[in-house]
Amino acid sequence: MPQRFMDLRQFLAFLEERGELVRIRHPVSPYLEITEIAARTTKGGGPALLFENVTGFSMPVAINVYGSEQRMAWALGVERIADAVARIEELIHLAPPASFTEKLGMLPRLKQIADMLPRSVKSGPCQEEVIDPASLAHLPILTCWPQDGGPFITLGSVFTRSPETGVRNVGVYRMQKFDDRTTGMHWQIHKVGAHHYRMARERGQQIEVAVAIGGPPVLPYAATAPLPEDLDEIVFAGFLLGRGIEMVKCRTVDLEVPAQAEIVIEGFVRPDDERPEGPFGDHTGYYTPLMDFPTFHVTAVTQRRDPIYQTTIVGRPPQEDGFLGWATERLFLPAVRMALPEVVDMKLPVEACFHNLAIIAIKKRYPGHAAKVMHALWGLGQMMFCKCIIVVDHDVNVQDVGEVVWRVSNNIDARRDLVLAEGPVDQLDHASARPLVGSKMGIDATAKWPEEGYDRGWPPTIEMLPEVKARVDAMWSELGIDLRRAR
């Protein structure tokens, strides 16, 4: 059974044991220097980093914790991501029991599911210390890039409740530090946090907010996952982990936070207080400009006795967040397939920043099928942000971008195969003429059928006969061809 990590330090200790964490004792500045070191480390396939001597601060900084496929899988409590995908598939296919004996057989499973729900506890390590008066001054918040508007908290899990239903939401939204008691709250307009804020604003009320840093390593991932609006990220995190997350009441707001968090920042956002936020070197690889966003007012800061400040940087891909995006690509394929069973696989290349490009393999069933898949995806949660969807046939390995380029460039006739659509675009998009609305492109690179107006007979791809391959396999070692040397 793989280990299920209930807090950050347990995970860091595990990574250190595996040679996957480096402690840095050399003094390093949180102003740009940590970014440069982290970016080089992630791009080079390097380890998680724990900066123990951050200039001007006594608190250590953990970064690049999720910066490899293996560490990302471990953070989810599995050895390989496929094991987590299998758990999700099992949940999706959980059929209602038919008979009484089948029902009895399900009882242990139901108990397991109950064990995954969040549990309220009376006290937690995240409240061992109370910073009085509340202040962010001691947090080693990074200024990431030269033109950034200031220091940004980049990996806070932001908790709110729907003012209407009380349902919890958790999302990772960046927070620009304005001063020791106020920050920005970068709730992009399409996100659930922003929706909660607008509902409160319509009622003329402020909204209570809590921000957790650290905690079970599954938590920041769950907070970035594109869940349906009313699905509680803490339930999802507990499900992924196979064990419920322990939650403790906040001190100044009516919210609960993970008891095992490293640091908790409590506060509120008023309905009438938006301020310029940014610029920020974003995950697109470009700066996002100064724009008005809500202001977060801090009412309490609590922490462990010896807290670790967990953060990340974004920038020109690939960066650490690419591995969070990769986990989403894998874990949400079963959900996509629930809506679209014809989808065989999908690839969201890291260079396209989660959503600029999706490559989808389908088992085509009818003429025009590829266009149907595009439109369905543009209507599916955060897939609405996809500026380009490429649809290929099921026999194309979409994980191999080289193969995709071969197939797509050969298969398309531009006038016939291009689908243009309009609608919302990501708030970070800088290409659309105006913010938030723009156009999207679908490319149907499937083999065309006569019913689709193609009468020339689609050519087969070239494959060698299996018996010839077998004969060559048998003689290969005697041929004296060293392929490694040839490269």
Ligand X SMILES: Cc1cc2nc3c(=O)[nH]c(=O)nc-3n(C[C@H](O)[C@H](O)[C@H](O)COP(=O)(O)O)c2cc1C
Q: Which residues are catalytic?
A: 282
| Residues 309, 263 contacting (CB under 8 angstroms) | yes
How far is 255 from 247, CA to CA, in rounded Å?
9
Q: What per-residue string of b and e applies to 432-448 under the rule 16 or more CB within 10 Å gives b?
A: eeeeeebebebbbbbbb
Considering beta carbons, is residue 199 or 447 the nearer one to ligand X? Answer: 199
Identify the bridge partners of residue 267 per DSSP, sorted by sequence position.
Answer: 209, 298
Q: Is 160 near Mn ion (CB under 5 A)?
A: no
User: With CB cut-offs between 5 and 8 Å by kind, which of Mn ion, ligand X, none does residue 161 bind?
Assistant: none
> Can you tell me whether residue 194 is helix, strand or coil?
helix
Please select the residue that binds Mn ion; options are 169, 260, 303, 311, rule is CB under 5 A: 169
Candidate segments 81-89, 148-156, 161-169, 448-456, binder of Mn ion by CB under 5 A = 161-169
Please select the residue that binds ligand X; options are 71, 191, 330, 355, rule is CB under 6 A: 191
Q: Is 64 near Mn ion (CB under 5 A)?
A: no
Q: Is 153 near ligand X (CB under 6 A)?
A: no
Q: Is 187 near ligand X (CB under 6 A)?
A: yes
CA atoms within 13 A on the CB side of 202: 9
Q: In the chain, what are the helix, strand and coil shares in percent, each to the nearest 5?
A: 30, 25, 45
Identify the bridge partners of residue 130 per DSSP, sorted by sequence position.
Answer: 302
Q: Is 224 near Mn ion (CB under 5 A)?
A: no
Burial of 26 (0-12, 13-18, 19+ CB in 10 A): exposed
User: With CB cut-offs between 5 and 8 Å by kind, which of Mn ion, ligand X, none does residue 311 bind?
Assistant: none
Considering beta carbons, is residue 220 or 307 the nearer one to ligand X? Answer: 220
How far is 304 from 289, CA to CA, in rounded Å?
35
Please select the residue that binds ligand X; options are 321, 417, 444, 452, rule is CB under 6 A: 321
Beta carbon of residue 115, minimum distance to ligand X (angstroms, whole number): 24
Q: Is 149 near ligand X (CB under 6 A)?
A: no
User: With CB cut-offs between 5 and 8 Å by kind, which of ligand X, Mn ion, none does residue 149 bind?
Assistant: none
Q: Find, among 2, 1, 6, the residue nearest to 218 by Cα.
A: 6
Q: Is 224 near ligand X (CB under 6 A)?
A: yes
User: With CB cut-offs between 5 and 8 Å by kind, which of ligand X, Mn ion, none does residue 435 bind?
Assistant: none
Q: Give the N- to C-terminal CA distance of the chain in Å, as an integer.
A: 41
Q: Is 192 near Mn ion (CB under 5 A)?
A: yes
Q: Is 48 near Mn ion (CB under 5 A)?
A: no
Beta carbon of residue 225, minimum distance to Mn ion (angstroms, whole number): 8
Q: Is 329 near ligand X (CB under 6 A)?
A: no
Q: Is 225 near Mn ion (CB under 5 A)?
A: no
Beta carbon of residue 90, minimum distance to Mn ion (angstroms, whole number): 22
Q: Is 168 near ligand X (CB under 6 A)?
A: no
Q: Is 184 near ligand X (CB under 6 A)?
A: no
Q: What angle do CA 179, 180, 186 make, to 5 degrees?
A: 60
Identify the bridge partners of residue 182 per DSSP, sorted by sequence position.
Answer: 179, 297
Residue ranges in 65-104 that form contacts with ligand X under rule CB under 6 A: none
Q: Find, among 258, 219, 162, the residue nearest to 4 by Cα.
A: 219
Residue ranges in 399-428 that form contacts with ligand X under rule CB under 6 A: none
How far is 111 from 243, CA to CA, in rounded Å?
11
User: With CB cut-offs between 5 and 8 Å by kind, which of Mn ion, ligand X, none does residue 226 bind?
Assistant: ligand X
Name the residues that contact Mn ion, by CB under 5 A: 169, 192, 227
